[in-house]
Amino acid sequence: MGDLVTMDDLSNDEITQILDEAERLIPVAEGRVTLPLLQGKVLANMFFENSTRTRMSFETAMKRLGGEVLNFSSIGTSVSKGETLYDTMQMIDGYADIAVIRHPRQGAAQYSADSVNIPILNAGDGSGNHPTQTMLDLFTIRQSQNKIENLRVVLVGDLRYGRTVHSLSHALTRFGASLILVSPPSLRMPSEIVSDLRNSGCEILETENFKDQLDSADVIYMTRIQKERFPDDDEYSKVAGIFKLSSNDLTDVKENLIVMHPLPRVDEIDSSVDKTRHSKYFQQAFNGVPTRMALLCRSLGIDVPKKVK
Amino acid sequence: MSEMRRVTAIRNGTVIDHIPAGYALQVIRMLRMDMNISTPVSLVMNVPSDKIGRKDVLKIEDRELNQEELDRLAIIAPAASIAIIRNHVVSGKLKVELSGELINIASCSFSNCITKADREPLPQRMKVVNQEPLEIRCYYCGKGQSLEELIENII
C-alpha cells in the first residue's frame, strides 16, 4: 500500500490526479508558499548508487513540505560490511515513515517493498524502472503540450539499460502514444518491454535513423549512453556519441516539439539547443520537486488541498 | 506390447505419464529425486503416444507424490497425467496445474537480479505471464526466463 515500484502501481486516473496535485504544489516547490503537510514525517533516502537530481529533489520536496530526511549511502555503512538489502531495509522500517530507494540491482525496489511495512518509492533499480522520473516527465509533457494523450514520442539512445525510458514507454502507451525507438542494435529496448507495449496496442517503430524522425515528433526524449552499465570500454566506445542533437536539426520541426532529457547529458544534446524554445530539460529537472511532493503525499496518505495558498 | 509394460508394473507408488519426450531426467531433477533417491525409479523414454507424439514415462516405487510436488512439473510437463498406485491398483489420478506464480522452484537467470545477491532471504518468485505459449518472468526483475534457463536453475 502506497508503494511505487513500477508504473503498474498507478492507474491512469491516479496519474492524472497526481499531476494535478503537483501543479497545485508548484508555489510550495518554489518556496513562495509554506505548506507543512508532512511535518513530523521522516523520509529515508536510500541510495545504493550515485544520484544528484533524484536524491536532491526528493530531499527538497520533503523539506518544503515540512518533513525530515535521513540520507543513506552504501559507502562506509553496514552495506560495505556485507549486510543484505533485506536487513538494511528492516532497520529503515524502524527509523522512517517512507523510503526512496535506488539500487544497482534490478528488482531491488520490489524486493524492498516486500521486505518492509513502510511505503517504498523506486528511484531506479539497475536497468529496471524509474517511475518517479516518469511522473515528472509526464508532468513536463503536459505542461508544454497541455495533454499527455496520443502523442508521437521519439525515445533516443540507450534503450536497453536506460530505466527512465522503460517506465516512460509503459506510461505513454497507456495514454495512446506512438513510439519511435531510436538506438544502436546493441542498445535496443528489451524484448519483454517491446512485446508488452505492442500487446497493449502501441504503434512502435524501431530504427537507427535518428534525424528522419525529428520532423513529425511532439516529444524527443534523449538519453545518455550510460558508460557504467557496459561490461567493458570497447563496447562502450562503439556506441558512445552516436546520436547528437543540435539546434541546426530543429529548423523544420513541429511548433510544439519539446526536447527532453533525464540528465546528466554528455554530448547527446549540444548546448545550442538550450536557448531554443524546444528545450525543456532544465524545467524537467525542477519539475522533479512538485511531482515528488505529490508522490510523497500520496504514499503517506496525505491529501493535497484543493487550493494551495 | 502395452507401453506401460516396458518396465515392470509397480505395486505401490506413483506413475507419471505423458512427459514430453526427452524430459524425464529433468522431471526427476525437478522432483528433487536425483540427490537422495531411496526408492527404485523406472524410466521409459521416447515411446509413441497418441496424445503428444512421443513421450517419457516415470514409475516411482513406494512413494506417493503430492499435488504441490507435481505442480513443480508444470513448466516442462503441463500435460502429464499421474496415477497413484496402491497394491497394483490405481487408487487416484492427478493432473499437473500451472499456477500464476512459481515460488522457490527456479532461481532467476539474470546475473544483475537482486535475488542473485548473496544471502538475500526472500523466496525466488516467478510470474506466469502467459500459459500458451509459455511465458515466465522473474517477479522481482521482470526478466523473461526460457525453459532451458528454468531447468538449468531449478532449486
State residue A116's pLDDT score.
98
For residue A190, the chain B residue with the least C-alpha distance is B143
Instruction: Quote the number of domains for chain A.
Output: 2
Both B10 and B83 in one domain: the answer is yes
A151 and A89 in a common domain: no
Q: Taking CB atoms and an 8 Å cutoff, what residues of chain B touch A82? A: 118
Reply yes or no on whether the pLDDT at B2 is more than 70: no
C-alpha–C-alpha distance, residues A279 and B121, integer Å: 46
Q: Is the pLDDT of residue B3 over 70?
A: no
Q: Show residues of chain A in contact with B119, CB under 8 Å.
A: 84
Q: What's the distance, Cα to Cα, between the start and end of chain B in Å?
A: 38
Q: What cell was used for B110?
A: 539474470
Q: Do B121 and A103 touch (CB under 8 A)?
A: no
pLDDT, tens digit (0-9, with 9 covering 90-100), for B92-140: 999 998 889 999 989 999 999 999 999 999 999 999 999 888 899 999 9
CA distance B100 to chain A (A): 18
- Banded pLDDT at B1 (limits 50, 70, 90): very low
Looking at the fold, whether A215 and A251 belong to one and the same domain comes out as yes
Gyration radius of chain A's alpha carbons:
19
Confidence at residue A228, expressed as pLDDT on a 0 to 100 scale:
80
Q: Torsion-angle region of residue A18: left (phi > 0), alpha (psi -120 to 50) or beta?
A: alpha
Average pLDDT per run of 10 along chain A, which is 309 residues long? Answer: 94 98 98 98 96 95 98 80 93 97 97 98 97 98 98 97 97 98 95 95 97 96 89 86 95 97 96 97 97 98 95
Out of A85, A110, A128, whose CB is closest to B120?
Answer: A85
- pLDDT of B145 > 50? The answer is yes
Instruction: Give the mean pLDDT of B46-75.
Output: 90
Helices (H), B49-153: 67-71, 147-152
Residue B148 CA to residue A304 CA, distance in Å, equals: 50
Q: Residue A103 and residue A115: Cα distance in Å, rounded? A: 15
Strand order in the sheet with A203-207: A203-207, A178-182, A152-156, A219-222, A258-260
Is there a domain that residue A139 lies in? yes
Q: Hey, are the CB atoms on B117 and A115 less than 8 Å from each other?
A: no
Higher pLDDT: B87 or A237? It is B87
Asked if A126's CB is within 8 angstroms of B112's CB, the reply is yes
A272, A301, B72 from A298: Cα distances, Å: 38, 5, 40
The Cα angle at residue A255 between residues A252 and A259, in degrees rounded to 5 = 85
Residues A150 and A42 in one domain: no
Which residue on chain A is closest to B139 by alpha carbon?
A107
Determine, for residues A85 and B117 on separate chains, whether the beta-carbon distance falls below 8 Å. Answer: yes
Residue-range definition of the domain harbouring residue A63? 7-129+287-300
Residues A187 and A120 in one domain: no
| ipTM exceeding the 0.85 mark | yes
